Structure 1
Amino acid sequence: MASEIGKDVEAVTVQCENQLDGNVQLPKGWLYHRPGIGSWRLPYYASPIVQLFYVAVIFFLCPGMYNALSGLGGGGQIDAKVNDNATVALYSTFAVVAFFSGTVCNKLGVRITLTMGCFSYALYIASFLSYNHTGNAAFVIVAGALLGASAALLWAAETVIVISYPPENKKGRYIAIFWMIFNFGAVIGALVSLTQNLHSDKGGYVGDSTYIAFLVLTTLGTVLAMVICNADRIIRDDGSKVILMKHPTWRSEILGLWEVLRTDAYIIALFPMFLASNWFYTYQFNDFNLARFNVRTRALNSLIYWCSQILGACIWGSLLDVSSFSRKTRARAGLVALFVITMGLWGGGYAFQMTYDRESAILQDNTLDWTSSNYGGLAVLYLFYGVFDSIWQTYTYWILGALSNNSRKLTILAGFYKAIQSAGAAIVYRLDALKMPYMSIFASTWALCAAGLVFAAPVIWTKITNHTELDKDVKFSDEMEEDLSKKVSE
């Protein structure tokens, strides 16, 4: 068995030869064909930028529509309880499956993993459409649980593409491009909802047409996932390929989870930051947007929120790749800036949260409309909540990408990230379903965000280097192979 692992777990990095005039000579075949006119050529299909764009479009259609629905608060329903319970089920299964999602992705490849990850989004949307007519809450909750399991696989495959395909000096921009396109899906979804509820100045659930539109788009995303490239076909502009394992066994992959925790135990210090990364959604969507606004204003708020995500990702991703400063400096400056933004933004949010609680929000019956005199300030606050989300997620992805270029290691680290993130979301959505006071959820959100950055500081200060050496990533794979061989022999 040890010899089989020695064959299966093989770290590779290939540099293409025969370069002409600085241009890489690519293999033959349609995957590497560059269509164009004259000297002008489009990128080839198996290039990192095309695959990044392609997976971003898939996320535009699937998680983007989910985000658009979540952004309305309560999944588009009047009472958030059904959505809260479905979301608890979603993130509970997400947390469990995400822990092993990197293992599954390494074994099956990104194409199969992406396809498996997409299929439940349409089912989840359909469950809310059904709920509008049948009131069948059990269907919504089961659909949420299935979505959590499949979404964990989807995000594992996305991580391989977004943070292991690009070269080091472009990781921030690649993450930003992905986040912008992905959230543009939520923008389109919010526009659809806003258009269909434009003349409704009452509180209430969204209509069937909104759910049907989302259902069609998520189904299309599932179809597109079937034809994405696997990582072993990807060739960068400089001719290098992605560092990955050839034909890993299930046993070596599962043991690899524990090896990463043993060799990189510092990752535990990032867990509070991971935990916070989805915690704030509950307050923003349910305890702010749903609690205080009618349906058409919630749709407008959702549009503002997701548009601001695009803006935040664009700016933050570009700043993280500024070549004038070393990567260590950018990592440290980003942490300090994010801490200052956290304290300032949530401090401002506290002033508004003091004006209402659950009881008063119910009595006021979601009376705030975009015509209300104080709406402008609240819209700006919600805009900055969206910016905050994008820079938090972009920075976290960038930090993970700065720790390694090894796709196998990154998928495992990302599995930890999504597992801890989802466990946090399951907890806070359950607290919301139990009607915990809005101020308590707000306070826990603010405190967790601040604590997450404090705990992450030692890792960012000591583990982020100016460049990840190739031999270090390959050495990681070789050492893991030796350790796994010993464990199997024993």
Structure 2
Amino acid sequence: MTDSKTAMSKAYDGSPELTDNVADIAHGVNMEVYRATVPLWKRVWQHSLTQMMLLSVQAFCGPAMADAITGLGGGGLATAKVSNICTAITYALLAIGSSSVCFMGGPIVNKIGVKWALVLGAMSFPIEGSAYYCNSKFGNQWYLILSGAISGIGTACWYVAEAGAIMTLAPSASRGKYLALWIVSRNLGQLVGGAINLSKNHEKGVDGGVSPDTYIAFVIIESLALPFALLITPFEKVVRSDGTRIITSETLSTKMEMKRILKTMTSKLVVFSALWALWSFFYSGTWSTYLATYFSVRARALSSLVSPFFCIVGCFGLGFILDMKSLSQRRRAQIGLFTVVILNVGVYIWSIIMQVKFNHHNPGHIDWQDALYPSAFLPYFFVQTTGPLSQSYMYWLLSSFATDAQENVRNGAAFRCIEAIGQAISYGMNTQTTNNPLVGFCVTFGLLGAAVYPMIMLVNTTPDRIPADVVAEEQDAALEKIEHLKVSNQTPFGAPV
């Protein structure tokens, strides 16, 4: 209640962080005045879709390129073990970093802001690509492993800021489509990585790692994230497409922020979604090992190139379902969960069947001309859609419970921390099971089964409306009442009674 009063007081006083020369109330913006008084370039820059696109470009340049390298199978190296060790370290430190940022998330975000958290993270992106280049060119594996430590710490800051932003920027009725844009951008790195790799490693019979020049292209793309991070605008300046502002609360003391964070970590939302978070990225380590073990270099490249296409269709399809106005938010959450679970179950049953066959008869390195290629590749093709669907759905669900932007940051940090732990365990496990991905497939499938029941319990408590929207409407009503009292207490000549 204190936060609501503070926000109303700022709006009434014409505070620049809320009004920015725009005639508005606490949550809504007078769009006619906004268009008349704010230059076009600034309106475009402050638009929620523009900010989501800037964030999506960073996701493409950073995490997507990291996934593209992973999607080459063992990072494109001759053997998957060193790559898996490097990636495991990255996510272990990402988990530690996310934990630190989660417990200190409020003070950090409130002090430096989402923009500068993204900038700090973007600066660490090119380190991974350069390490793979040095390993491929000079064979110095120590830098590859060290890069996992350095980029893991730097990227943790970016991931937490990103999680809060993607759940906050979208208008209430378009969250599914906004998240689809982000998740597709994040996964298009596989397409670019596959195209780069295929253009340089398309000859039949080539075995081992990809060429060193491939990693130079990755480094260049990873470096482009920084200028786009610098273009991010603070939450309080963003105007959504439906004419609403983002609800932000006042800066809290460190002691109060710690209390809020502890409350977040023990909340029903985090506890019930923890297993889903652990599972949501767990598949990536096993599938990277699967590609490196059973596919030729050019077949890996082709797999990375074509896999994202169905992801685009699937993610936007789920986005439209989650944004259906004819259904309540709870009903959309239930339909979304059912869709995601059924698709994942089908993929994992297929994957386990294929791996059992490979355990009985090792196919060697499968090329795209081999008759076995379609049936061996298709499970990977579909998991590159069902995995992102699971992640997009979870962030949509988390944003359905938030009361303000700061709570989205705390929830996102908690989810990202658990998510990174799952990835670290997955890649660490695959360093010990390099020649038998069946263990990884079974563990991942088991985690999905364990995560479903808590998720059903959580989904069935989804509020029919986003709490942040309810708070905003209460603020608007209170401001209207204040304005009405202000007018009624003046004489017809405008002087106070």
Please tell me the TM-score bracket, short chain as reference: 0.7 to 0.9
In structure 2, the partner of 1:482 is: none
In structure 2, the partner of 1:182 is: 186
Structure 1 distance, partners of 2:88, 2:473, is 39
311, 314, 317: which one pairs with 2:316?
314
The CA deviation at 1:267 is 2.1
In structure 2, the partner of 1:479 is: none
Structure 2 distance, partners of 1:365, 1:428, is 24
The CA deviation at 1:370 is 0.3
2:97 aligned partner, one-letter code:
V
The CA deviation at 1:17 is 3.5
In structure 2, the partner of 1:65 is: 65
In structure 2, the partner of 1:342 is: 344
Structure 2 CA distance for partners of 1:33 and 1:185, relative to 1, 3 Å: farther
In structure 2, the partner of 1:94 is: 94
**For residues 354-392 of structure 1, what are the alpha-carbon distances to aligned partners after superposition, in whole Å with 9 as ceiling and x for unaligned?**
1124x965xx542x1000012122333222111111211
Preserved CA contact (<8 Å) 1:46 1:229? yes
Structure of larger gyration radius: 2
**For residues 119-152 of structure 1, what are the alpha-carbon distances to aligned partners after superposition, in whole Å with 9 as ceiling and x for unaligned?**
2221111111111233222211111112112222
In structure 2, the partner of 1:449 is: 448
403, 417, 426: which one pairs with 1:419?
417
In structure 2, the partner of 1:280 is: 283
Q: Secondary structure at the match of 1:45?
A: helix
Aligned CA-pair RMSD = 2.7
Structure 2 distance, partners of 1:454, 1:53, is 34
2:33 aligned partner, one-letter code:
Q
In structure 2, the partner of 1:34 is: 40
Structure 1 distance, partners of 2:29, 2:378, is 51
* In the alignment, structure 1 residue 81 sits paired with structure 2 residue 81: yes
**How many aligned positions are there?**
455
In structure 2, the partner of 1:460 is: 459
The CA deviation at 1:22 is 7.1
Preserved CA contact (<8 Å) 1:90 1:144? yes
Structure 2 distance, partners of 1:147, 1:389, is 23
Of the structure 1 ranges 16-25 and 67-76, higher mean CA displacement relative to structure 2 is found in 16-25
Preserved CA contact (<8 Å) 2:330 2:463? yes
292, 296, 304: which one pairs with 1:294?
296
Structure 1 distance, partners of 2:254, 2:97, is 15
Structure 2 distance, partners of 1:447, 1:210, is 36
2:439 aligned partner, one-letter code:
S
Structure 1 distance, partners of 2:371, 2:195, is 23
Instruction: Write the mapping of 1:130-169 to structure 2, written as runs, cut at 5 A.
Output: 130-169=134-173
222, 228, 242: which one pairs with 1:218?
222
Q: Secondary structure at the match of 1:369?
A: coil
In structure 2, the partner of 1:269 is: 272
The CA deviation at 1:28 is 8.6
Q: Secondary structure at the match of 1:60?
A: helix
2:120 aligned partner, one-letter code:
M
The CA deviation at 1:105 is 2.8
Give the structure-2-normalised TM-score: 0.85
Q: Secondary structure at the match of 1:26?
A: helix
- Give unpaired runs (5+ residues) of structure 1: 1-5, 36-41, 476-490
Structure 2 CA distance for partners of 1:21 and 1:240, relative to 1, 3 Å: closer
Give the structure-1-normalised TM-score: 0.86
Preserved CA contact (<8 Å) 1:331 1:460? yes
Structure 1 distance, partners of 2:293, 2:275, is 27
1:346 aligned partner, one-letter code:
Y
Structure 2 CA distance for partners of 1:355 and 1:238, relative to 1, 3 Å: closer
Preserved CA contact (<8 Å) 1:17 1:24? no
Preserved CA contact (<8 Å) 2:171 2:242? no
